[in-house]
Amino acid sequence: MGQRSNSSSPTREDDAGHGATENFKMTMLPGGYMGKILQVDLTTRRSRTEPLDRTLAEQYWGGHGFGIRLFYDLVDPAVDPLSPENKLMFGAGPLTGTGAVAASRYVVVSKSPLTNTIACSNSGGFFGPEMKFAGYDVIIFEGRADKPVYVWIENDRVEFRPADKLWGKTPEETDEAVRAATSPHAKVACIGPAGERRSLLAGVVNDRQRLAARSGVGAVMGSKNLKAVAVHGTGSVRLADAEAFWFAALDVLKKVVNDPVSFGSFRAYGTANLVNLINEMGAYPTRNFQEEVFEGAAATSGEAIAEKILVKNRACFACPIACTRVSEVKDGPYQGRGEGPEYETTWAFGALCGVSNLEAIARANFLCRDYGVDSISAGATVACAMELYEKGYAPESDIGFPLRFGDAEAMIRATIMLGERDGKFGARMADGSYRLAAHYGHPELFMGVKKLEMAAYSPRVFQGMALHYATSNRGACHVRGNTVAAELYGIPKYVPPDTLEGKEELVRRPFQNSTAFVDSSGICLFTKFAITHREIVAMMAPATGLDFTFDKSITQGDRIWNMERLFNLRAGFTAADDTLPDRMLEPVPGGPRAGSRAELQKNLETYYQLRGWDEHGVPMKQKLAELGLEDFWGVVGG
Amino acid sequence: MGSLVRVRLFAPFDRLCGRRDVVAEFSGTPRLADVLLRLVEQHPALGRYILKRTGNGTVDFENYFLACVGENIVLPEDRIPDGAEVKLFVPHAGG
């Protein structure tokens, strides 16, 4: 039997007002928010709740914003990410669970053991809404359990249960076992074997197959001996002005279902609809970014997935798009069934490894799901290992077999080694491509920024992505400033990929700041092809009853970006970390974009100026004052 | 022969109408379009969500919601038999 804490327990410190929100003044919130933060101490196996503060909501809005500000206040940036002193936060947005289109998202915030930066990973499915139905906007896990546990949260009740029998199980097996032991209605977020083994590529897996994948947040969960969190709630999200909310929400729904990108391409072909488009542009990184055109793109495209292995679409909570693919390889050596592969996974195990066997790529995707690892970083690490092998830097005696680009079977074997931490080479791969390449004395073969691997958009072609990869607060992440929307789809307006002019403002405002805002709302980023900030704000204001405006949303995104920057600076990062791999500064060797390269330095200087940062990348006093962060002046040099 | 049709309203239409179902009587066998227009007559606020004004002044229906009889999707020109229950909903994945 697990331990139980309840409202009469002396271990519970409800409404104490000291802890997560002590920097904020307490007042009630009218809607959108559930009004509570749950703090779970795994060391003592006690929990307590605190009220969510109105000022925190007004300044940081939810999800991403809550996570960053609370984390900044509660955790020393110098903390060892895998120590009990690090915290792991799950945060939902005010729209999560309201029924607004695609409002399914929650974030996982921590200090990344992969990058040592702030980590904020994001996932859809049903877990985020269920957190809200149980009554919580944020759940904070701290400390470390002495033995593996899972935490069962049902409305106000929090139980700590032994997870010894779950240790070693895949996320799907864990989900099934936990729901059998708790409630069939429970939604489960857990780690797979990779998180247990503290692979720095491990993610948090919710709803069996969806990952808050990047930055190694699953390793943090594993370091806390926290195998799973199951949550079930019987509440609902209160709306401050239901009629105005639904009017705005149905207007958004109409736009999304009539949009050729959000509802057209993503519904028909999933995210992998991008494979042929990006490859035709000559911007599809191939064989560890050595080339930018992949000869096997058509065979591994969204169209090929639809024709060969697609079973059906699947949707997250309140989503009409249903971009998730459920695919199945029915026979042969790569048999399997499940969600995906997504665009990035198709690329990472396909073009990046030179593999054009779609069934093998699907198999690698299923392996990542079963181990619970980030498929982008895992595929990129295998690709890096292939280049290390082909150039003679990593000997076959270390790997155990020839690991050549294009060899599907070798790619699968390497992925299994990574997931299993099998041998020394597997253990090195499990900690990502930077550490692997550095071990063999060739860190220049790591294709990422701040130790996070880049995704499937070449920064040698998309100059906006070059600047974004270099400056993104969690490393070379593609989603938090995906200028490809403008540089390919023309959203919000077309800007040619190879031009430099205006890219600094494009990256900063409509992408980085905007994404920080969207990820705070609880809405899926994929709606942004069809709607703008204004429409999201038009839902948030009546949902919450707070005075949210378009202008405030811009400031809010900027505030989050700067808070993350301050955290990273305090953790020891400098302007020298805002860079790209040398290979990206060299010309593309062939294809339609031959000669193109990332022109980073000029854009970077202007970007700092537009951000209100000095030449060292430190936010200046005036900027902090503009964001209401003047108290943070002087926490770092500048 | 008259027909009696029940319209069952799912979220958010139930919240917008303030009720979960509506019963309407027709002199013949109505089309779904007739049922929806009657619904808007009884609950005018619903019009702004489900009706779409076309360029030539006629009325069309928005395409983001679905109507079903049993497990079959019905379209505006489909006839709704006497005694049928029409379910009106937004095709979202639920909790």
Which residues in chain A are closer than 8 Å to B88, comparing Cβ atoms?
none
Out of A453, A486, A518, pick the residue that ends a domain: A453
Q: How far is CA A471 from the centre of its chain?
A: 16
A23 in a domain, yes or no? no
pLDDT in the model for residue A27: 57
- Under 8 Å CB pairs connecting chains A and B tally to 50
A313 in a domain, yes or no? yes
Q: Does B25 touch chain A (CB under 8 A)?
A: no
pLDDT digits (tens, 9 = 90+) for A550-562: 999 999 999 999 9
Are A480 and A612 in a shared domain?
yes
Q: Does B95 touch chain A (CB under 8 A)?
A: yes
A59 pLDDT exceeds 70?
yes
Are A313 and A347 in a shared domain?
yes
Q: A549 φ, ψ to 5°?
A: -130, 165
A613 in a domain, yes or no? yes
pLDDT in the model for residue A5: 42
| CB pair distance less than 8 Å for A253 and B64 | yes
| Band of residue A26 on the pLDDT scale cut at 50, 70, 90 | low
Are A152 and A276 in a shared domain?
no
Share of chain A above pLDDT 70, in %: 95
Is 3.10.20.30 the CATH classification of the domain at B2-89?
Answer: yes
pLDDT in the model for residue A12: 36
Give the Cα-Cα-Cα angle A353, A433, A518 (nearest 5 degrees): 90
A:254-273 residues touching chain B, CB 8 A cutoff: 254, 257-258
Q: A632 φ, ψ to 5°?
A: -90, 0
Out of A133, A246, A320, closest to residue B16 by CB:
A246
- A52: which DSSP letter? P
Q: Does A133 touch chain B (CB under 8 A)?
A: yes
3-class state of residue A572 by DSSP = coil
* Long-range Cβ pairs for the range A409-413 (8 Å, 24+): A409/A333, A409/A360, A410/A386, A411/A349, A411/A353, A411/A355, A411/A360, A411/A364, A411/A382, A411/A386, A412/A334, A412/A360, A412/A363, A412/A364, A412/A367
Out of A401, A424, A453, pick the residue that ends a domain: A453
- Residue A90: closest CA among A15, A32, A44, A141: A141
pLDDT digits (tens, 9 = 90+) for A238-285: 999 998 998 899 999 988 888 888 777 777 778 888 999 999 999 999
Out of B12, B91, B95, closest to residue A246 by CB:
B12
State the CB neighbour count (10 A cutoff) for residue A68: 29
pLDDT digits (tens, 9 = 90+) for A336-369: 999 989 999 999 999 999 999 999 999 999 999 9
pLDDT in the model for residue A20: 64
- Which residue type sits at A317? F
Are A226 and A331 in a shared domain?
no
Q: Does B48 touch chain A (CB under 8 A)?
A: yes
Which residues in chain A are closer than 8 Å to B94, comparing Cβ atoms?
317-318
A30 in a domain, yes or no? no
A413 pLDDT exceeds 80?
yes
- Residue A604: closest CA among A469, A475, A497, A481: A469
Are A426 and A504 in a shared domain?
no
Q: A482 φ, ψ to 5°?
A: -80, 85
B53 pLDDT exceeds 70?
yes
Minimal-distance CA residue of chain A relative to B17: A243
Instruction: Specify the CATH number for the domain of residue A480.
Output: 1.10.599.10
> Structurally, how many domains does chain A consist of?
3
| CB pair distance less than 8 Å for B94 and A317 | yes
Do residues A589 and A579 touch, judged by C-beta distance below 8 A?
A: no
A444 pLDDT exceeds 70?
yes
Highest mean pLDDT among A22-26, A325-329, A445-449: A445-449
Instruction: Specify the CATH number for the domain of residue A181.
Output: 3.60.9.10
> What are the distances in angstroms from CA A69 to CA A127, A156, A231, A516, A609?
22, 25, 24, 12, 24
pLDDT in the model for residue B56: 76
Domain of A263? 259-453
Are A507 and A372 in a shared domain?
no
Distance from CA of A317 to the nearest CA of B (A): 5
Q: Would you tell me the crossing angle of helices A63-74 and A514-521 to the nearest 10 degrees?
A: 100
Which residues in chain A are closer than 8 Å to B51, comparing Cβ atoms?
none
Are A444 and A468 in a shared domain?
no
Are A436 and A470 in a shared domain?
no
The mean per-residue pLDDT over the stretch B63-84 comes to 93
> What are the distances in angstroms from CA B43 to CA A195, B12, B21, B49, B74?
54, 14, 12, 11, 21
Q: Are strands A324-329 and A187-190 parallel, antiparallel or unpaired?
A: unpaired
Are A574 and A554 in a shared domain?
yes
Are A55 and A177 in a shared domain?
yes
A26 in a domain, yes or no? no
A445 in a domain, yes or no? yes
* Domain extent listing, chain B: 2-89
What pTM does this model have?
0.91
- Which residue type sits at A505? E
Out of A178, A213, A232, pick the residue that ends a domain: A232
| Band of residue A4 on the pLDDT scale cut at 50, 70, 90 | very low
Which residues in chain A are closer than 8 Å to B93, comparing Cβ atoms?
126, 315-319, 322
| CB pair distance less than 8 Å for A253 and B90 | yes
Which residues in chain A are closer than 8 Å to B62, comparing Cβ atoms?
254
Which residues in chain A are closer than 8 Å to B63, comparing Cβ atoms?
254, 257-258
pLDDT in the model for residue B93: 64
A162 pLDDT exceeds 50?
yes
Distance from CA of B51 to the nearest CA of A (A): 12
| CB pair distance less than 8 Å for A317 and B93 | yes
pLDDT in the model for residue A610: 95
A603 pLDDT exceeds 50?
yes
Instruction: Specify the CATH number for the domain of residue A370.
Output: 1.10.569.10
Distance from CA of B27 to the nearest CA of A (A): 33
A324 in a domain, yes or no? yes
Give the Cα-Cα-Cα angle A114, A120, A123 (nearest 5 degrees): 110
Distance from CA of B1 to the nearest CA of A (A): 37
A60 in a domain, yes or no? yes
What mean pLDDT value characterizes chain A?
93
Are A279 and A395 in a shared domain?
yes
Query: CB-based burial of residue B30 (10 Å sphere; 0-12 exposed, 13-18 middle, 19+ buried)?
Result: buried
Are A477 and A402 in a shared domain?
no
